[in-house]
Amino acid sequence: MWIKNLWKFLRAISGDDAYEVYLNNFSKCTNHLNSNPLSRKDFYSQKLQQKWNKINRCC
Amino acid sequence: MTNFIKTKLIWIILSTLGAFAFSTIALSRDESINAMWFITAAVCIYLVAYRFYGAWIAAKVLVLDEFKETPAVTNNNNRDFVPTNKWVLFGIHFAAIAGPGPLVGPTLAAQFGYLPGTIWILVGAVLGGAVQDMTILFFSVRRNGKTLGQMAKEELGQLAGKASLIATFVIMIILISVLGLVVVNAMKHSPWATSTVAATIPIAIFIGFYMRFLRPGRVLEATGIGVVLLLFAVYIGGEIDKSESLRVYFDHGGLFLAWSIIIYGFAAAVLPVWMLLAPRDYLSTFVKLGTIIFLAIAIAILQPDIKMPAVTNFVDGSGPIFGGSVFPFVFITIACGAISGFHALISSGTTPKLIDNEKHIPMIGYGGMLLESFVAIMAMVAACVLEPGVFFAINSPVGIVGSDPSIVIQTINSWGFPVTQDQMEQLAKDVGETTLFARTGGAPSLAVGMASIFADAFGKNLLAMWYHFAIMFEAVFILTTLDAGTRVGRFMLQDILGNFHPKLGRTSWLPSTILTSAIVVACWGYFLYIGVIDPNGGVNILWPLFGIANQMLAAIALSVGTAILIRTGKVKFAWITGLPLTWLAIITSTAAFQKVFSEDTRVGFLAAAKFMTEKVNSGMLTDEKISIMNQLIFNLRFDAVITVLLTIVLWLVIIDVLKILFKNKYKFLGVRN
C-alpha cells in the first residue's frame, strides 16, 4: 500500500500526472463546455513554457 | 491528559537532546568528533524551532486563517493558479530553492573550522532564512501572488522596487559566473569529469525529444531512462580516461572549458526549453534529491569522524581559500543554507499561486528552508570528514601555495596540518585523477568527501566511480542553474529594454532573444573568464561578491516584511524580520567596506589593484603577464564599484523602512503604553 502511495506522490511531485489532473479538472469545469481539452502533447509544451517563463530555480 | 503530558515530555527530551548535541559540537576540543552530533543537533534544533518559533510566528504574528481562500483557490485557472497538495508543493518548492549554493558555501567556509559555519547555518536558518521565506510567502499569498519586486514597490516605493530588480540581476550574473567557475575547476585536465559532464548534454537532448515527441509528458519514465544513461556516462568516462587515444579529446585547460561553457550557456538560453533546459532540470532534480537522501543514509550508517578542528587559525583572515576574517566573512560565504535572498523570489510570485490553504505556509516556507539548511550541514560534514591537510591541499589556489607539489605540502604542513605528497598522489590515483592540488571552488573537495563516505559505507573499491558520480551530480545541477539563470536574466533584460523599444520586450521575437541572451551570457562570461585567468582561483573574489549580493537581496526582502508588519499595526512584532535585517545590514556593510577599502591585498579590491599596478610598473613582468594583470586590475576596480553601488542601494531601502517606522512611531508608542 505504501509503495502505491509513494508512486502516486512521485508522479504528482514530478508532474507525471499533470495531464490526467488537467483532464479531470477540465471535465468538471463548466466554462469549457464548448471547447475541447488540449492534446497531451500540446498540454505538455504549454506547461513547459509557463514553467520556464519565470524564476523557478535558485542558488 | 496523559497525551498532553506525553507530548510535553517528547518536546522536553528533544530540546534537551538538541542542546546537549549542540554544546558537544561547540565545546569539544578533542582530536575528532562524530558526525552524528551534527545531525542530531541539527534535527533537534529544526524540530523545536519549527514547532515553537515557526508556529508562534504563524499563529501570533502573521495570524494565518485556514478559512480564508487563497489565490490558488479563488483564481484557479488550471494553469499557474492551481491548489496543490501540501506535500507535493513542499517538494516543488524545495526543488526550486535548493541549488548548488548550500553545497559550495559550507565547503569554502570550512577553512575557519567546522564551528563558525555550523553555528551560522543553524542559527541563521532558524531565526533568519526560514522566517524570511515564510513571511514573504504569506505576504505574497495575501497579495494575490505578487512578486518581491512588486511588493517592494508598493510597500517601500519605486526605489526599493527597482533595487530588488537590480540586485536580482546582479546576483544572477555573479552566481552564474562563479558556478561556471566551479564546474571549470572540477573539469580542468580531467578527461573523466569532462567527458561525463559533456555526455549529460546529448543525454538531456535525447530525453527532451523523448518527452516531446515519443512519449509526451511521461516525466518519470523519461527521467528514469535519463538517470540510467547518466550513470552509464560516469562508467564510460572512466573507460575514456584509460584510453590513451580518446582521453586527449577531453583533456583541456581552464580557458577552453570556460569558452565551451559560455557557448553552451548561450545555446541553452536560445534553444526552446523542451529541448535542453526542461529535460536537464528533470534529471538534475532527481539526481539531486536522490544523492542527498543517499548521503544522509550513508552518514547515518557510517557515522564518520569529523577531522577538521573546531576553529582554525584562519579566523584571523589569513585563510588560503578566501581572504577575510571570520566576522563578517563566514556569514557572507554561507548564504544559501542560512539565509538566501534568492528564496524570496521563489516564495513570492511562484509558490504562493499553488498554496491550497494558508495553514500549509509554515511547512512550505519555514520547513522548506530548514531542509535546505540540513543540506548545508551535510555539506559541512562532507568537507570536514577529510583530513584537514588534504582539504587544504585540494582547495588552496596556486597563487597562495605555488604549483610545485613539494612546496605546497611544505606550506600546508607549516600551517599545522599534516599531509604528505604520497598521500595526495595516492588519493588522486584512487579517485582517477592526475592531480588534486589546487582544485579550487569546493566541488572537488566535496566530491572527495562524499566519495569517501559513500565508499566506506557501500564499497571501497569504487572510490573513483563515487568521486566522478559526485562531480557529475554537482555539475548537472550547476549547469541547470546556469541555463535557467541565463534565461531568467534574458527575460529581465527584455522587460527593461521593452520600455525603450516595445519590440525588444517581446520574448518570442527571435532577434530580441538572441540579442538579450548574448548580453546576459557576455556579462557572466566576462566574470568567468577573469576567474579562470586569475592565479588566485577567482572563487576567492567571486564567491564573496555573490554572498554580499545575495545577503543584500535578503535584506531587501526582510525590509519588505518589516515594512508590512509595521504598516499593519504589528510594530511590536516587527523584530522577527527586523532583527535578521539588522544583522544582515551589519554584516553586508562591514563585508562590503572591507572588500573595497581593506589594506590587505587578499581582501580589499582597491588594495589588490594598487599592489598589481605597482607590480606592472616595476617592469619585471613579461608582456603576457602584464596583459593578464591589467585585466585583473580593471576587474578589481569594477568589483569595487559594484560593491559600493549595492551598498548604497541597500541603505536607501533601509532608510525607507526607517521612515515608515518613524511615521508609525505613535502606533508603536501606543502599543507600549
Is the pLDDT assigned to residue B106 strictly greater than 90?
yes
From the list A11, A26, A59, the residue facing B220 with the nearest CB is A11
- B491 and chain A in contact, CB less than 8 A: yes
Residue A51 has pLDDT above 90, yes or no: no
Does B247 contact chain A (CB < 8 Å)? no
Give the pLDDT confidence score for residue B672 in this predicted structure.
47
Q: Round to whole Å and give the CA distance between B32 and B307.
A: 5
Contact flag A40-B507 (C-beta cutoff 8 Å) = no
Residues 6 or more apart from B89 whose CB is under 8 A from it?
Answer: B351, B354, B355, B356, B360, B364
> pLDDT tens digit string along B422-481?
999 999 999 999 999 989 888 999 999 999 988 888 877 789 999 999 999 999 889 999
The candidate with the shortest Cα–Cα distance to B324, out of B314, B335, B337, is B314
**pLDDT number for residue B139:** 97
Strand partners, B319: none
The b/e string for B592-630 (b: 16+ C-beta within 10 A; e otherwise) is bebbbebeebbbbbbbbbeebeeebeeeeeeeeebebbe
pLDDT band at residue A31 under the 50/70/90 scheme? low
- What chain B holds in terms of domains, given with CATH numbers, is 2-189+252-672 (1.20.1740.10)
Integer CA distances (angstroms), B285 to A53, B177, B220, B289, in order: 18, 21, 12, 6
> Measured in whole angstroms, how far is the alpha carbon of residue B499 from the centre of its chain?
32
Q: What are the cell numbers at B18? A: 538538541
Q: What is the largest CA-CA distance in chain A?
A: 44
The 10 Å Cβ neighbour count of residue B232 is 12
**Over pLDDT 70: what percentage of chain B?**
99
Residue A4: exposed, middle, or buried by beta-carbon count in 10 A (0-12, 13-18, 19+)? Answer: exposed
Rounded to whole angstroms, the Cα distance separating B69 from B187 reads 50
Is pLDDT of B667 > 70?
Answer: no
The predicted model gives B143-162 an average pLDDT of 92
- Closest chain B residue to the Cα of A51, Cα to Cα: B80
- The Cα B422–Cα B429 span in angstroms is 10
Q: Is the pLDDT of residue A57 over 70?
A: yes
Contact B217 A16 (CB under 8 A): yes
A52 touches chain B (CB under 8 A): yes
- pLDDT > 60? residue B668: no
Residue that has been written with the C-alpha cell 548537472 in this structure: B476
Q: Give the pLDDT of residue B146.
A: 94
Mean pLDDT of the residues in chain B: 92
Q: What is the DSSP string of B619-646?
A: T-S-HHHHHHHHHHHHHHHHHHHHHHHH
Is B154 a residue whose pLDDT tops 50? yes
Q: What does the pLDDT look like over B590-646, one tens digit per residue?
A: 999 999 999 999 999 999 999 999 999 988 888 888 999 999 999 999 999 999 999
List pLDDT tens digits, range B471-529. 999 998 899 999 999 998 998 898 888 888 888 888 888 899 999 999 999 999 999 99
CA B93 to chain centre: 15
Q: How confident is the model at residue A30 (pLDDT cuts 50, 70, 90)?
A: low
Per-residue pLDDT tens over the stretch B36-46: 999 999 999 99
SS3 sequence, B417-453? CCCCHHHHHHHHHHCCCCCCCCCCCCHHHHHHHHHHH
> Residue B249: what pLDDT?
93
pLDDT given for residue B673 in this prediction: 39
Supply the pLDDT for residue B67. 95
CA of B100: which chain A residue's CA is closest?
A: A59
The answer to whether A54 contacts B342, with C-beta atoms less than 8 Å apart, is: no
Verify cis geometry, omega within 30 degrees of 0, for the bond prior to B388. Answer: no
Burial B262-299, CB ≥16 within 10 A → b, else e: bebbbebbbeebbbbbbbbbbbbbbbbeebbebbbebb
Higher pLDDT, B13 or A57: B13
- The C-alpha cell of B344 is what? 524570496
Please check whether residue A50 touches B, CB under 8 A: yes
| Cross-chain Cβ contact A55/B346 below 8 Å | yes
Instruction: Using only the alpha carbons of chain A, give its radius of gyration.
Output: 14
A59 contact residues in B (CB cutoff 8 A): 99-101, 171, 175, 335-336, 340, 342, 481, 546, 550
ipTM of the prediction: 0.91
- Helices B463-497 and B254-270, packing angle to 10 deg: 50
Q: A47 falls in which pLDDT band (50, 70, 90)?
A: confident
Residues of B in contact with A50 (CB under 8 A): 79-80
